[in-house]
Every structure is written in C-alpha cells, then in structure tokens.
Amino acid sequence: MKKILLILLAMAVTALAPMGTTAYAAEHSHAVRDKGATTVTARADLQAGLRDLWIGHVFWVRNVALTTKYGDSTAAAIAEGKVVENAKAIAASIEPFYGKPASDKLFGLLAGHYGAVKAYMTASYAGDKAGKEAAKDKLVKNADEIAAFLSGANPYLPRETLKTLLYAHGGHHMAQLDALAGKDFAQEAKVWDDMKDHMYVIADALAGGLAKQFPKMIR
C-alpha cells in the first residue's frame, strides 16, 4: 500500500510541475514577444500566481486524502498544515484590492470549505452514507457563501457563474475521495486531471474579474 501511495504522490508532483508560475510566465512571455512586447504583463503575473495558489489547494488536500487513507498520521498532519498555509495565501491575494477584513473573511470561508471536504473524506472512508450527505450539504452551502462574498466584492464575477464553478470544484473533491475510498486509482487519476484543469478555470476567472475591476492596478 505504501508503494501505491508513493506512486500516486509522485504522479501528483509530476502533474503539478509543468504548469507552475515559472512555466506559465515563460509561455506568456514568449507569446507577447511575438506581438512585439518585451515584458510579461501584470495581469499575466496575477493569473499565473492565482493558478499556483489554487493548484496548491487541490494538491495539498489530495495529500491529506492519500496519507489519511493509508494511515500515515504524521504525513497527514504536515499536509493539513500546508492546506491551511495555502488558504491563508489565497486569502492574502485579495488583500491589496479589498483590504484585510475581506482577506480574513475569505480565509474563514476557505476554512469552512476544507472542513466540509475533510468531513466528506471521513464519511467516505468509513462508508457512512448519511455523513457523506451531511458533508455534501455543507460543501454546497459554503460554495454559496463564497460565491456571494466574491460577487458582492466584484461586479465582474457573477454570482451564478461562481456557484457553478464552485459546485463543480466540490464535486471533484467528492469524486476523488470516493475513488480513493474504493481504491479505484484509475478513476482517481482521471478526477485529478479534471480537478487540475478546473482550478485553472477558477483562477483565470478571478484574475479576469480583478483586471476588469482594477484596470489601473492590473495591466
């Protein structure tokens, strides 16, 4: 089992590496040079940074799920610490635009999101259907709260669009945990690919909304 765990963690690192900030910025820099520009735009930097942050979220939650599944409590605790660290970084990313109170609010909402995901993990691993339903309800309610908060702060982030994006994200978490619970590693790998791609969609939507709302700060 530990060999399987190491293989899956290696797959996660390999999958994460190609789309990091450096790779994305280099790709964008090449594109703008083709148009006669010589520097990466501030918007590209923002987009790349948000992509890294949101990919970090699913990467570390996946590590919690894997290490918990195979009973490595020490590794799970370390991974959970990184989940919290990542959530603080995501929350801090909006502080330059909306201030510290908004950043603190977002961190609380992200903590609620992770709490619901963790509750679903516990229930799924235990085969607790009622627990899974309760955790799912918490995920949906939390997604509604995050969508309301972000759309209230930014008119270029429609509430219903955000809800759709966040519902899909929660669905990926649940599908991944159910696959791990059933030791369906092929399905988990497929969900992981879909989950990563969806994180880019969420990050890009947030970057686009910020660029429209703050054109003088983001070029």
Segment 161-177 shows an average pLDDT of 99
> Around Cβ 137, how many Cβ atoms within 10 Å?
11
Q: pLDDT per residue over 177-194, tens digit each?
A: 999 999 999 999 999 999
**Residue 174: pLDDT over 50:** yes
Q: Measuring CA to CA, how many Å separate 39 from each of 29, 31, 33, 48, 214?
A: 7, 10, 8, 14, 20
Q: What percent of the chain has pLDDT over 70?
A: 81
79-85 contact pairs (CB < 8 A, 24+): 82/56, 83/57, 83/114, 84/111, 84/114
pTM of the model as a whole: 0.83
Confidence of residue 219 (pLDDT cuts 50, 70, 90): confident
Residue 19 has what pLDDT? 37
| Domain residue spans of the chain | 2-213
**Residue 7: pLDDT over 80:** no
> Alpha-carbon distance 4 to 8, whole Å?
6
Confidence of residue 60 (pLDDT cuts 50, 70, 90): very high
Residue 4 has what pLDDT? 41
CB 94 within 8 A of CB 138: no
Q: Which of 21-30, 96-105, 145-154 is least confident?
A: 21-30
Confidence of residue 33 (pLDDT cuts 50, 70, 90): very low
Q: For residue 210, give both structure tokens.
A: 């910020």
Q: Which amino acid is at 196?
A: K
Task: Name the residue with tokens 């970084």.
Answer: 89
214 phi and psi angles, rounded to 5 deg: -125, 65
Q: Which amino acid is at 19?
A: M
CB 119 within 8 A of CB 171: no
Nearest to 58 by CA among 202, 199, 218: 199
> Alpha-carbon distance 188 to 206, whole Å?
27
